[in-house]
Structure 1
Amino acid sequence: MSDFDRKGSETARAAWLYYQEDRTQGEIAQELRVSRSTVTRLLQRAKAEGLVRISLNVTAGTFEAERALERAWGLERARIVPDAADEATQQRWLGHAAAELLVQMVGDDAIVAVAGGATLLAMADALVGQHPLAGAQVVAMTGGLYNATPGADANDVTRRLGQCFAAPARPLLAPVSVRDEATALGLANDPGVRSALDLARKASLAVYGFGAAPGDSTLFRLGHITPDQQAFLRARGAVGDIACRWIDRDGQPVAPPPSIHPIGLSLDELKGIPQRLAVGGGALEQEVIHAGVRGGFVTTLVTDERNAGALLAKR
């Protein structure tokens, strides 16, 4: 097989795996035994050579619902994706829509503050190619999650966005929360942590997902909160978290138990960032999505039909 034929076959295979089998770029890189950057180039080549043609198949009703959502809740932008049969597919669809919006919203000299999570990992996977920005910076706005899905940690997503925008990526080298106040104060005074948070506070755009109610959340499943802490939060009305900060059904902050000291931006600091792109969907996140929108934490929302309908029904 000639080098040309080999490259053509590899390009077609990468495109098939990505667009037909909904595989991530990381999974494709493993299967083809190439780097992730090579997969990105193969997908770009597939589009350029006409191997891939993307058609838009939506109804006018979707656009109308997006405009209605914007008007009802005072959002700058809303994007609605179809409801999916499973969580992984839903996250991919949400991630693709969020990636398209992110590229539109970010510009030169932007400072982008980023949280973690599986949906934001899907967004990073959907950012095919580079979109270089002059003077832009990307920074993590929460500490790291141990045992997270590979690539879904806030620092991992930050690095991926930095690569996409050819921008410096600043990690927040601390856990998402610690158990005692002394450790929290020590981390707050660490020069690296302090400088990362100072940069995040200056962000022009924040990108984050929603965490479900305490008993169903990623934080609980990964062991970052205990059953007793979960009960404490539920008893105080927590319906979920935004960037590892809990809120009630009205979008008001819920103070964590004394044994949880989050490391990252506060809700007030998040709300001070001019543009706030929030991404979430699925039945488990319905309450916290509504609470986040109601509390004024969202300027741009990417969600599914189920949650869009629920939001419109509450207006």
Structure 2
Amino acid sequence: MQPRELPRPPRTPIDGEGVAHRSRDALRAAQMYYLQDLTMDAIARELRTSRSTVSRLLSLARQTGLVQISISNPAERAPVLEQQIRRRFGVEAHVVPVADSVSDSEALERVAIQAARTISPLMDSNAIIGVAWGSTLSAVSHHLTRKDIHDSTIVQLNGAGNTQTTGITYASEILRRFGQAYGARVEQFPVPAFFDHAETKRAMWNERSVRRILDLQHRMTVAVFGVGSIDAGIPSHVYSGGYLDEEDLAQLAEDEVVGDVATMFFREDGSHRDILLNQRSTGPDLDRLREVRRRICVVSGETKINGLRGALAAGLATDLILDEASARRLVQLAADDRPGAPARLAGTSRADR
């Protein structure tokens, strides 16, 4: 016996009228089904409709060309959020549909699945691919799909050691999965995440063995990273893994830091050059990171929104993969920004302004 249609509450996405609404709903269902591996029953629960309606939406997606071998999302059919983010921030946005009822860990898993499938087509032969370690990239690395590219290198973006661990195992596993997925050589960066003294960093950066890795980083064609945030729902590894002591955290608060990329910190306006802890960090210089042709940022969780805004203000990303709730919040905050507010040059210090 066929299940009867469930009562449909007002203003649910499935209730949209017209071809445009149906196309949007079909794309949403297709992303969940083909990119996140959700069952039709699970999609029906999230969209608050019946399994048969989901089946019809998937059929519509195939009939209209939204689905071929993979999800087709041409600009003219891009979801509104992706278009708004693209216009406002100048990045290629990929929004992952995730219901508000989903837990932080499940949301991260879904974002990681789609991020892995979005990243792979962007990888080419003869590339130098910089990879940061962290909770988000660890999740992404578990879902990478095999792509045969040649003469490419995966290089670690920042050191991972601290006073409790060398960090080699944690970081190397992430890099190994990237290397296996793309048949690339892996180059680790066996230095601490932070030196105790800026003078030590300057001395180490003059060592030939270290300069070899720095040279690879300087020649990167692709960088892949998450955004660290102190108050994230799933704590960023740099803040939860023993890398920062109370004095460090107090200094970050004094410097008005909202987040980091590869253990290089920044403020909400994107400025970073006078943040003291950056002088001891082994992450890539953010001015140099901006010169990398393709910079892929993966974010999951609204609690990282301030860090994400800072990263975008600093111009660190060309491609952004994020969950739907974070995308909505990002667009909302951008709309709430005061019109006519003076522009600030990303990367400048407070003293420079």
Q: Alignment partner for residue 234 of structure 1, among 244, 253, 261?
A: 253
Aligned-partner Cα distance in 2 for 1:306–1:61: 20
Aligned-partner Cα distance in 1 for 2:251–2:322: 29
Q: Alignment partner for residue 143 of structure 1, among 152, 159, 175?
A: 159
Aligned length: 262
**2:269 matched residue in structure 1:** 250
**1:37 matched residue in structure 2:** none
What SS does the corresponding residue of 2:226 show, helix, strand or coil?
A: strand
Q: How many percent identity over aligned positions?
A: 23
**2:110 matched residue in structure 1:** 93
Maintained 8 Å contact 1:83/1:304: no
Aligned-partner Cα distance in 2 for 1:260–1:268: 14
Aligned-partner Cα distance in 2 for 1:204–1:197: 14
What SS does the corresponding residue of 1:223 show, helix, strand or coil?
A: coil
Q: Alignment partner for residue 63 of structure 1, among 54, 74, 79?
A: 79
**1:168 matched residue in structure 2:** 185
AA in 1 matched with 2:156:
A
**1:82 matched residue in structure 2:** 98
What SS does the corresponding residue of 2:265 show, helix, strand or coil?
A: strand
Residues 239-263 of structure 1 deviation map (CA, whole Å, 9 limit, x = unaligned)? 1111101111111116444696111
Matched, 1:267 2:286: yes
- Structure label with greater radius of gyration: 2
**1:8 matched residue in structure 2:** none
Q: TM-score, normalised by structure 1?
A: 0.74
- More moved, 60-69 vs 273-282: 60-69
Maintained 8 Å contact 2:159/2:191: yes
Aligned-partner Cα distance in 1 for 2:284–2:82: 29
AA in 1 matched with 2:87:
R
Matched, 1:109 2:115: no
Deviation of 1:19 (Å): 6.3
Deviation of 1:214 (Å): 7.4
The residue correspondences of 1:152-163 to structure 2 (distance < 5 A) are: 153-163=170-180
Maintained 8 Å contact 1:142/1:172: yes
Aligned-partner Cα distance in 1 for 2:239–2:280: 15
Q: CA RMSD in A?
A: 3.0
Give the 3 Å change call, closer, same or farther, for CA 190–67 of structure 1 in structure 2: same
Deviation of 1:131 (Å): 0.9
**1:51 matched residue in structure 2:** none
AA in 2 matched with 1:162:
G
Deviation of 1:107 (Å): 1.0
Deviation of 1:152 (Å): 8.4
AA in 2 matched with 1:144:
A
Aligned-partner Cα distance in 2 for 1:152–1:311: 34
**2:313 matched residue in structure 1:** 294
**2:230 matched residue in structure 1:** 213
Deviation of 1:187 (Å): 2.4
Residues 261-298 of structure 1 deviation map (CA, whole Å, 9 limit, x = unaligned)? 11131111111111110011213211001111122111
**1:310 matched residue in structure 2:** 329
Q: Alignment partner for residue 192 of structure 1, among 209, 215, 228?
A: 209
What SS does the corresponding residue of 1:178 show, helix, strand or coil?
A: coil
Aligned-partner Cα distance in 2 for 1:193–1:140: 12
Q: TM-score, normalised by structure 2?
A: 0.67
What SS does the corresponding residue of 2:320 show, helix, strand or coil?
A: strand
Aligned-partner Cα distance in 1 for 2:186–2:153: 6
Give the 3 Å change call, closer, same or farther, for CA 103–290 of structure 1 in structure 2: same
What SS does the corresponding residue of 1:121 show, helix, strand or coil?
A: helix
The residue correspondences of 1:3-22 to structure 2 (distance < 5 A) are: none
Maintained 8 Å contact 1:143/1:177: yes
What SS does the corresponding residue of 2:130 show, helix, strand or coil?
A: strand
Aligned-partner Cα distance in 1 for 2:92–2:236: 28
Aligned-partner Cα distance in 1 for 2:94–2:37: 24
Give the 3 Å change call, closer, same or farther, for CA 81–192 of structure 1 in structure 2: farther
Deviation of 1:217 (Å): 4.3
**1:11 matched residue in structure 2:** none
**1:35 matched residue in structure 2:** none
Deviation of 1:83 (Å): 4.6
Deviation of 1:203 (Å): 0.7
